[in-house]
Structure 1
Amino acid sequence: MSNLSSRAEQLAAFDRLLTIMDELRAQCPWDKKQTTESLRHLTIEETFELSDAILEGNPEEIKKELGDILLHIVFYAKIGSEEGNFDMASLIHSLCEKLIRRHPHIYGDTIAQDEETVKQNWEKIKLQEKGNVSVLGGVPKSLPAVIKAMRIQEKARGVGFDWEEKHQVWEKVEEEMQEFKEEFNAAEDKEIDKEKATGEFGDLLFSLINYARFIEINPEEALERTNLKFIKRFQYLENAARQAGKNLSEMTLAEMDVYWNEAKKK
């Protein structure tokens, strides 16, 4: 039996949430004190928790975290209505109007038969709407660097500024790697120019992210998978050492490698 609800049931559930938000805002000491500023860092935290649930592939956790984010949206709308700036209806209508504007291939006469054209149209319309002087003006300054690099590259591609073939992008990766190697040879034991090394390493990372985009790999997701894999193996190493009555800080690297190699087979 399907656990999916009808449109009427969904609307009733949303109405129930709005009513509960009204009651909490009027009666709960904590909810009454909140502002958009006080909620901001909590919203960011909830977004990362949703990200964790998605990476874990846990539908129940995804549902829970989406609920928490929905609560925050409703909360912001409630505060907006109290301040006379916007309410849930105007927020949703504004979103609907934006979606219609940015999908002229669905609601207008524009033709877009592939995803790439849709993305290019979206970026062009977005640029017109916001009146940004730069295509890159819409990239949030506080985005994490890897995600920011992805968005910068995607936006540049949206106006046609991009490599044509993926082999060209890989050649750029190799070029940046060679430059980094020549400048900061690992075999040499001399002190390096940290400022210059940071710049060159940034160029190398940017080119790798660019190549990942060309072969349709999300570099943020790829790095996070590696992070999780490392954590899992390192925790196996910790547990195995503990069970053997050993302390990691007192073990040699060769001793730790034995457990590490065991972890890789798990």
Structure 2
Amino acid sequence: MHNNDIQPLLDIMAKLRDPQTGCPWDIAQRFETIVPFTLEEAYEVADTIERMAIDELPDELGDLLFQVVFYCQLGKEQGLFDFADVVEKICNKLTSRHPHVFGTLKGVSSDEVKENWEQIKAKERSERDLHSILDNIPVGLPALSRSIKIQKRVARVGFDWAELGPVVDKIHEEIDEVIHEVEQEKVNPDKVQDEMGDLLFAVVNLARHLGVEPEQALRGANRKFERRFRGVESMANKAEKPMEEHTLDELDQYWDEVKLRE
């Protein structure tokens, strides 16, 4: 069934929330209780794209759209906003942030578009009475993603290294500080965690300077490790010997063989 109208989905959502005849689970939900599901659905969309399982994408995007519709239904019930308000907001934002498409600013380069975008967002922040350049960065973002947003914001006002050397030096410095803490006679776990946080922040900074999205890079590394470790497990099974009875050298040899096959 093909239907370009959003109304059937809005009607289904309203029916699910009907106090008399709706679904008890849906009726019990609030804004804050849906957030974990929204994040999960967003990651499932990302996973589908990264696996290039495009045939699954319409289904996953539908699940994500349902989250938006759910929030809109809650907003409508409380007299705060509805789906039409959300559509109007994003339409206004997109047209105002793209004057080179919808306005009089024509024939600009990609760099000029980016610079104009940042100026518009800065103006929006000032109109919302946000005083710090770091205001309005969602605290619920994954830590890697939030780190890179923080670093991009401060870089706009010149708080950034222009060369790669100091960025790499900072990582070595943070590694030394982690090792210093773990070599103390009495190790303080809080200090170790603090220094590890600084190290991760420094690594994110290197990723930013290299034009790498750290969250995406780490997800890729996770998938690669999982794929290779499954190969190690398969080789251990073929050897008819439990993983736990293998030496680390034997497992490393399996690992190297799996890598060679890729």
- State the partner residue of 1:129: 127
2:211 to 204, 210, 216: 216
Q: Does 1:60 align with 2:52?
A: no
Instruction: Say if 1:169 and 1:204 are closer, same or farther in 2 by CA, change over 3 A.
Output: farther
Task: State the shift of 1:218 in Å.
Answer: 0.9
Secondary structure of the 1:184 match is: helix
Q: Normalising by structure 2, what TM-score? A: 0.83
Secondary structure of the 1:229 match is: helix
- Bigger drift between 237-246 and 170-179 goes to 170-179
Instruction: Say if 1:33 and 1:184 are closer, same or farther in 2 by CA, change over 3 A.
Output: closer
Task: State the shift of 1:228 in Å.
Answer: 0.8
Task: State the shift of 1:92 in Å.
Answer: 1.1
Q: Does 1:72 align with 2:67?
A: yes
**For the Cα contact (< 8 Å) 1:124–1:159, is it kept in 2?**
no
Counting matched residue pairs gives 253
Task: State the shift of 1:229 in Å.
Answer: 0.7
Instruction: Say if 1:94 and 1:223 are closer, same or farther in 2 by CA, change over 3 A.
Output: same
Q: Does 1:236 align with 2:231?
A: yes
Secondary structure of the 1:76 match is: helix
Q: Any gaps of 5 or more consecutive residues in structure 2?
A: none
AA aligned to 1:137 is D
Q: Any gaps of 5 or more consecutive residues in structure 1?
A: none
AA aligned to 1:245 is E
- State the partner residue of 2:154: 156
Task: State the shift of 1:72 in Å.
Answer: 1.4
- State the partner residue of 2:95: 100
Instruction: Say if 1:250 and 1:119 are closer, same or farther in 2 by CA, change over 3 A.
Output: farther
Which runs of structure 2 are paired with 1:164-243 in the superposition (5 Å)?
165=162, 168-178=163-173, 180-181=175-176, 184=179, 194-243=189-238
AA aligned to 1:131 is D
**For the Cα contact (< 8 Å) 1:77–1:88, is it kept in 2?**
yes
1:43 to 38, 46, 51: 38
**For the Cα contact (< 8 Å) 2:167–2:205, is it kept in 1?**
no
Q: RMSD over aligned Cα, in angstroms?
A: 2.8
Deviations 1:194-236 (A, max 9, x none): 4444444433332332222222111111111111111111111
Q: Does 1:21 align with 2:19?
A: no
Deviations 1:59-102 (A, max 9, x none): 12222111001111112111211111111111211222222333
- State the partner residue of 1:145: 143
